[in-house]
Structures are given as structure tokens and as C-alpha cells.
Amino acid sequence: MYDNTLWGGTVAWLEEDVPEAKREWRQCAIELNELVSADTRVEISKVTMGDGITIWQLLGLVAFSLQMEHSVKKDGNPVNKGLLQSDELYQYILETSVYPREPEPLKELRAATASHPRAEMATAPDAGQLMAMLLKLVDAKKTIEVGVFTGYSLLLTALTIPDDGKIVAIDVNREAYEQIGLPIIKKAGVAHKIDFIESQALPVLDKLLENHENEGSFDFAFIDADKDNYWNYHERLMKLLKVGGLVVYDNTLWGGTVVMPDELTPESKKPSRPATIEFNKFLAADPRVQISHASLGDGITICRRLY
Ligand SMILES: C[S@@+](CC[C@H](N)C(=O)[O-])C[C@H]1O[C@@H](n2cnc3c(N)ncnc32)[C@H](O)[C@@H]1O
């Protein structure tokens, strides 16, 4: 049963009449309604109660991926951020294993990010927990981050590496970082470890490579930005990372759409879906890395440079 499928009635309004607060999710409600109506594998009943409820009976549909895309928020925390088959199971992991151990500054940043209109972009806390462990396992001191947004993964890296560690953090847009993340990062006393660069990531990585001292010098990289460039980032990172160093790619299951028929893939996921599928195949065949494709968060692929 999906709630809010009439989204305050705005699904039938002209776009210019829709209040700002309703706009982003209105498109989701419209897409979900169209998708469900066209899906021959489900029986639906649309009920105009409350804010609109769509009751549908599953006839074998891969429901989790639809839930992922059209999730709502509970207590400011994203539900269905993960790819598990039930919200309850994901909440269980978060509440049992992740939140009790999440450092206070990260909790604060997660709460501050929840009110951002693009809050779903933040790295999932369960993926973050694994990342912190990986950083410790390789004794990471010098790292690269592509895709900062408000800085959840950046702050967790800064909290995990030693006091004289350094992070080259790149994002095309500094607004979310400066307005939401930076004050919390400063309060946590780790801002000195971060070199934030507002730029497209590729030229920055190329510039790093111009200095030969940077070759083979980074312990860790986290890539969470434009999927179409993941291959390009990988090529640069295979020179920048130490042998034995790790690169973690986020969103490599792309909301579950990597296994979804095109007609069921939500419009918002379509542009980066082919690149994600190609990149996954490419990594699987790349002899330069050992890989582990983990179904955590939105799917992360951990690569260890072998030579
Ligand atoms: C999914 S968010 C990153 C989330 C972040 N890791 C976190 O924990 O909150 C993706 C970010 O990548 C940035 N981005 C997209 N394309 C980029 C590019 N070509 N170069 C650098 N940053 C880019 C966007 O501005 C956005 O802030």
C-alpha cells in the first residue's frame, strides 16, 4: 500500500500552481502512479482517502526497487535507502548496529542534511560504517573523495584518519558543504585534514597526476558523483592509489535498476543506468583490482589495487 499518492491533490495541478515544498515528491507520485497503472503484473485499487492511497497486489514484481525510488522519510531518516527487501530489516540494521555506534558529529550532520531537498544523495550510514572500517584496515592517511554534498562521507573519513591525515575533497558545488557540513566539521575539530576543491573532478585528478610524487601515494578513495565518469576516475585512481590501496565506488546497484527492465526503471534513474551496468562489467574484468560488490546502501564496490 502506498500512501500520499495524490500528494495533497497536486498530482493533478498545473506545475506553476504547486507549492515549492510539494514539487520534488510530486514528480515521484506522478511517476509511481503511471508506473503502477501500466504494470500488468499488479492489480491496483486507488483510494481517495487521506492524501491518496494506492493499494496493489503484487504478482511477482520486484517491489524493493520501486520502494527504493519512492520512499518517504520516517523521523527524518531515509527509509528504503538500502536494497534490502523490507524497510523493517533495514531499520533493524541501522538501529541495532549502525546508529548506536555512529559518532555524534555524524549524527548531527545526518540530521542537518535530512531537511535538504536532495537529502537522499547523502551516503547511507550503513555504507559509511563499512567505509570507516576499510579506512582503518588500510591505515589510511592520504585520501581522495569525489562527491562531497553536505559531507557525511567526508566527515566520517576525517574522523577516522589520523590527525596529520589529508583528504582531497572535490565537488562541483560548495554550497551544501559550506552551509551544512562545514560548521559541524569545524566543531568536530577535523577541518584541518580537508582540502576542499570546488571543481569538476577529472581536471583535479589530472592535475594531481602532473606531480609524479602523487603517483602511488593515496591510501584510499571514495567516489560518489557522476556515474558516467566512474570509468575515467578509475583510470586516474589506478595511478594515484598505492598498490594495496582501496577505492570504493558508491551507487553501483543504482537503486536496484541494474536488474530492472527498462520500462520499469524510473525516469530519474534512466540516464546513469547504462553507465552503471557497463562500469560493473568493466570492474569485474579489470585484472588490476580485487573487488567486492556489496549490497549495502545503494550498492558499493570495493576495489583493492593489485599492481
Ligand atoms: C551523491 S552526492 C555525494 C554524497 C556525499 N558522498 C555524502 O556523503 O553526502 C554527489 C555529489 O557529486 C557532485 N558531483 C557531481 N558531478 C561531479 C563532478 N563531475 N565532479 C565533482 N563533483 C561532482 C554533486 O555536486 C554532489 O554534491
pLDDT digits (tens, 9 = 90+) for 179-195: 999 999 999 999 999 99
ipTM above 0.90, yes or no: yes
Residue among 109, 145, 146 to mutate when testing ligand 1 (max atoms within 8 A of CB) = 146
The closest-lying atom of ligand 1 relative to the alpha carbon of residue 176 is 27
The yes-or-no verdict on residue 71 having pLDDT over 60 is no
Supply the pLDDT for residue 262.
Answer: 87
Q: What is the pTM of this model?
A: 0.77
Residue boundaries of the structural domains of the chain:
2-61, 104-305
- Name the percent of the chain lying above pLDDT 70: 76
- Cell 531515509 -> residue: 78
User: How far, in Å, from the CA of 187 to the mean position of ligand 1?
Assistant: 23
* Candidate from 83-92, 144-153, 215-224, 264-273 with smallest mean pLDDT: 83-92
Q: Which of 181, 171, 141 is nearest to 157 (CA)?
A: 141
Atom of ligand 1 nearest to the CA of 222: 6
Task: Spell 43-76 as b/e; 16+ CB within 10 A means b.
Answer: eeeeeeeeebbbebeeeebeebbbbbbbbeeeee
Q: Predicted confidence band at 10 (pLDDT cuts at 50, 70, 90)?
A: low
Q: Are β-strands 194-198 and 218-223 bridged in parallel, bridged antiparallel, or unpaired?
A: unpaired
Distance 223 CA to ligand 1 centre (A): 8
The domain defined by 104-305 folds into: Rossmann fold (3.40.50)
- Say how many Å lie between the CA of residue 139 and the centre of ligand 1: 25
Specify the higher pLDDT residue, 239 or 83: 239
- Which is the closest atom of ligand 1 to the Cα of 201? 20
CA of 300 to the centre of ligand 1 (A): 15
State the closest ligand 1 atom to the C-alpha of 150, by its place in the atom list counted from 1: 9
Whole-number pLDDT of residue 14: 55
Beta strands 166-171 and 142-146 are: parallel
> Cα dihedral sign for 205, 272, 198, 142?
negative
**Which atom from ligand 1 is nearest to the alpha carbon of 148?**
5
- Ligand 1 centre distance from Cα of residue 147 (Å): 3
pLDDT tens-digit map of 149-175: 999 999 999 999 999 999 999 999 999
The pLDDT of residue 178 is above 70: yes
- Cα 55 → chain centroid: 29
The answer for 118, left when phi > 0, alpha when psi is -120 to 50, beta otherwise, is: alpha
Residue of minimum CA distance from atom 13 in ligand 1: 147
pLDDT (0 to 100) of residue 12: 60
